[in-house]
Every structure is written in structure tokens, then in C-alpha cells.
Amino acid sequence: MIVLTDKAKKFIIDFEGLNQPSTWPGGDSGITLGIGYDLGYVTVDQFESDWAPYLTADQLKRLKEAVGKRGIAAKNRSGQLQDVKINRKDAETVFIERNLPMYALKTEMTFPGISELPLDAQGALVSLVFNRGTSMEGDRRA
């Protein structure tokens, strides 16, 4: 089992920053909120489960319309979300309680034996999977 130290969590949180849905990060990204939570790569059910305790019904409804949209489609929608503000405490809670366990599991599946590595190395690999996914193909690993 991967152990994520407070240092590793802080590293990822500091690197990601606090994303607001009105600022599209570019490329193939979807609308991103909180700590690197990309709506282009989640399901509606996952989004609702992760964020319902922290957003109003109207905000949830409007953000659900962006789920699965990436690239220009996400960029075009981001301007309609200027009034939706994500606070840091809620973003960190979603990240630590919802995202990190999922990405730790994906990391373990991608890198068997990771739990034998030093804790900082475990944290670095979770950060890699969080940012680049689990694929070992193509330029994402260059």
C-alpha cells in the first residue's frame, strides 16, 4: 500500500494550485476546478459524488454540462462560469479524500512494488500518474 506523506500531498497541491472553472488551462484539458480536478476526464456520477457537498445545486448543474468536454469545447464553456468560485479548503478536501486514494491505487497498479520504494519516490510517482495518467506509451513519458 502506498503511503503518501504530508510532504508529498503538499508538493502536489502546491504544484497544481487552486483552479477556478472560469480559467481553462489549455490543450486537451477540460474545465478544471479545485486541485487539478479536470471535468473533461470524469463522469457525471463521479463529479456529483465528489463535489455535491461543496457546491450549490445551480453550480453543480452548470458544471455537469462541462463534464466530458475537452479542448475548445471546454474553453468555450469556461467563460460562462465566472461566478463559480471554489474555495481552497473544499478543493483540498476533495483532493485528499477523493482523488488521492484513486490515484494512489492507479499508481500501485501501474508500478507494482512501489510500496517498497522510499516514501518521497512513492509520492513522486503518484504525482506523475495524477498529471500524466497510467499509459507508458508516447510523449507523455518523455
Q: Which residues span the domain enclosing 107?
A: 1-17+87-132
Average pLDDT over residues 30-57: 96
Whole-model pTM: value is 0.88
pLDDT at 131: 84
Q: What is the mean pLDDT of the chain?
A: 93
Three cell numbers written together for 114? 512501489
Average pLDDT over residues 24-50: 96
Average pLDDT over residues 23-44: 95
Angle between helices 119-132 and 6-16 (to 10 degrees): 30
Whether residue 72 is found in the same domain as residue 45:
yes
71-112 confidence digits (pLDDT tens):
999 999 999 999 999 999 999 999 999 999 999 999 999 999
Whether residue 40 is found in the same domain as residue 71:
yes
pLDDT at 142: 63
Spatial CB neighbours of 99, under 8 Å, sequence gap ≥ 6: 35, 36, 37, 50, 130
Is the model's pLDDT at 65 over the cut of 80?
Answer: yes
Whether residue 25 is found in the same domain as residue 5:
no
